[in-house]
């Protein structure tokens, strides 16, 4: 996990050096979004979770908080972000302070597998569960943080066809993703934890294009980035973006959006 993210904070700090102290969300995008398809992905989550200004929302695996800030600003609701890695959690708090959203957006450093106190109207989790193979504990903790009837929304990796050993190795070593379910098993794990009314959407073609575009845009700006951030950091990004683009283009790795409710 740490290996996957160790270059992200130095890059973010380097980019922040050119930005004013007081930040808008637009200044930060896409720097503070570690999921795919930017704010469009969050807009869809807001719709499917039926978020209102009164909703109490939990963002599981909040990264540096881009999702939580956007959601709170767009809808006006309070959002709590839970983030495992202390440095990312601290950065999430700093960026939130600098965007003037600290009243509505809070971050807790912790592991979803250990649970958190409090109950929420809904949670979302964008590209986080691929890092967590302990699905039974994961989804029972995810159920415990929801009020009865509360809603959830997930974006995640899945296997569409069996991953070959090379793909499994790349996922484990470069993406900190040790194993992945197929969609029916995923749904079953959620049901076993008490979730129901589950719907899902296969977003593999969308993500195949998006990760390819991300790679090409980074390659296009690589000379600029090399001068600013140094060769090692840029090479880490290129390797990671290339590996993910290759994995998706192989057709065995897929992307899914899933949403539903905790049954009363």
Ligand X SMILES: C[S@@+](CC[C@H](N)C(=O)[O-])C[C@H]1O[C@@H](n2cnc3c(N)ncnc32)[C@H](O)[C@@H]1O
Q: Which helix (H) or strand (E) holds 141?
A: helix 135-144
**Of residues 97 and 231, the one with the C-beta less far from ligand X:** 97
Residues in Cβ contact with 204 at an 8 Å cutoff, skipping those fewer than 6 apart: 160, 248, 253, 254, 255
Residues in Cβ contact with 209 at an 8 Å cutoff, skipping those fewer than 6 apart: none
Size of the residue set binding ligand X (CB under 6 A): 22
**Could you tell me the smallest distance in angstroms from the CB atom of residue 230 to ligand X?**
23
**Of residues 67 and 170, the one with the C-beta less far from ligand X:** 67
**Could you tell me the smallest distance in angstroms from the CB atom of residue 41 to ligand X?**
8
Q: How do strand 57-60 and strand 120-126 relate by DSSP bridges?
A: parallel
233 binds ligand X (CB under 6 A): no
243 binds ligand X (CB under 6 A): no
46 binds ligand X (CB under 6 A): no
Taking the alpha carbons at both ends of the chain, their separation in whole angstroms is 35
From residue 166, how far is each of 48, 171, 173, 204 by CA, in Å? 36, 9, 11, 20
Per-residue contact string for residues 121-160; x = within reach of ligand X by CB under 6 A: -----xxx--xx----------------------------
Per-residue contact string for residues 81-120; x = within reach of ligand X by CB under 6 A: -xxxx--x----------------------xxx-------
Can you tell me the distance from the alpha carbon of 246 to that of 167, in angstroms, rounded to the nearest whole number?
9
Residues that bind ligand X (CB under 6 A): 1, 33-35, 61-63, 66-67, 82-85, 88, 111-113, 126-128, 131-132
């Amino acid at each position: 996990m740490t290996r996957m993210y160790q270059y992200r904070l130095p890059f973010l700090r380097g980019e922040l050096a050119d930005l004013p102290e007081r930040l808008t969300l637009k200044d930060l995008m896409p720097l503070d979004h570690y999921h795919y398809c930017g704010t469009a992905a969050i807009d869809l989550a807001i719709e499917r979770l039926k978020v209102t200004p009164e909703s109490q929302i939990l963002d599981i695996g909040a990264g540096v908080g881009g999702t939580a800030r956007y959601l709170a600003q767009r809808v006006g609701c309070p959002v709590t972000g839970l983030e495992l890695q202390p440095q990312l959690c601290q950065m999430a708090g700093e960026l939130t302070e600098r965007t003037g959203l600290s009243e509505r957006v809070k971050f807790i450093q912790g592991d979803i597998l250990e649970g958190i106190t409090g109950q929420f109207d809904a949670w979302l989790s964008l590209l986080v569960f691929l890092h967590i193979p302990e699905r039974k504990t994961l989804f029972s903790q995810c159920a415990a943080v929801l009020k009865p009837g509360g809603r959830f929304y997930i974006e995640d990796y899945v296997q569409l066809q069996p991953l070959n050993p090379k793909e499994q190795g790349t996922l484990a070593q470069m993406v900190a993703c040790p194993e992945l379910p197929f969609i029916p098993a995923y749904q079953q794990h959620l049901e076993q934890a008490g979730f129901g009314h589950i719907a899902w959407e296969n977003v593999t073609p969308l993500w195949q294009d998006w990760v390819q575009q991300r790679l090409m845009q980074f390659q296009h700006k690589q000379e600029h980035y090399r001068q600013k951030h140094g060769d090692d950091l840029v090479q880490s990004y290129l390797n990671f973006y290339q590996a993910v683009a290759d994995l998706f283009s192989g057709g065995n790795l897929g992307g899914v959006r899933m949403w539903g409710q905790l049954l009363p």
